[in-house]
Amino acid sequence: MLKNNPVMKKLVETGEERVGKLAQQLLSNEKFVAAVQTLVSRSLSAKGTLDSALRSALSAMNLPSTADLEQLRSKVDDLERLLASVESKVDTLVAQKAPSKK
């Protein structure tokens, strides 16, 4: 109902134009871009520090980290593939020997 309203359409268009102009002005402002880059850089640094602290805390409690679990999951996947391969070979050998017994 509101989508078909011409006044609403005009308001949305005007709002989109203004937001676009504001975004363009902000992105052309070197100080703003530098501030955003600094913020992103500091956020990534803080995340790295937090990750390191979390790994240390988990290690101190003798608990696995996410990386440890991913490594274990990878090893389990490798073992499952190997087991499936061995199972397939055993099935082939059993199928080859079964007809010779008759």
For residues 31 and 37, give the distance between their C-alpha atoms in angstroms, rounded to a whole number.
10
- Is it the case that residue 102 has pLDDT exceeding 70? no
Q: Which pLDDT does position 65 carry in this prediction?
A: 86
Q: Which pLDDT does position 100 carry in this prediction?
A: 58
For residues 45 and 48, give the distance between their C-alpha atoms in angstroms, rounded to a whole number.
5
- Mean per-residue pLDDT over the chain, rounded: 91
| pTM over the 0.85 mark | no
- Is it the case that residue 72 has pLDDT exceeding 70? yes
